[in-house]
Structure 1
Amino acid sequence: MKMVQWPLKSLTMLAGMFAVLGANTTCWWIAHEPEMPEEVKKLQKLQ
């Protein structure tokens, strides 16, 4: 029984690690917002 549980535990731990890694990498993309250049602000005022 232990030989069957070992691969399943390893797979579960690996899936958990990938889930944490995926959540942390997407958070950086969501949080990043570059500054808007002055030219773009001027174009928005014209419209």
Structure 2
Amino acid sequence: MFRWAIIFAVVALLASLLGLSGVAGMSKDFAIILLVVAAIFAVIGFISRGKI
């Protein structure tokens, strides 16, 4: 999921350089959402490993 967040961040950067503000905004939002979800899953994974 971190990979998808990075891909969307790169797409947002390229779109902003090309002047496509709508695409850049949506890609940025998707990147942030995926980054937060991936971080939450990583924390849950680390916590659950210690309990097994």
Give the TM-score of the pair, scaled to structure 2.
0.57
Q: Which runs of 5+ in 2 are unaligned?
A: 1-19
**Structure number having the greater helix percentage:** 2
What percent identity do the matched residue pairs reach? 12
Moved over 2 A (4+): none
Aligned-residue RMSD, C-alpha: 1.0
Alignment of 1:1-47 (within 5 A): 1-33=20-52
Give the TM-score of the pair, scaled to structure 1.
0.62
Q: Which runs of 5+ in 1 are unaligned?
A: 34-47
- The structure with the largest alpha-carbon Rg is 1
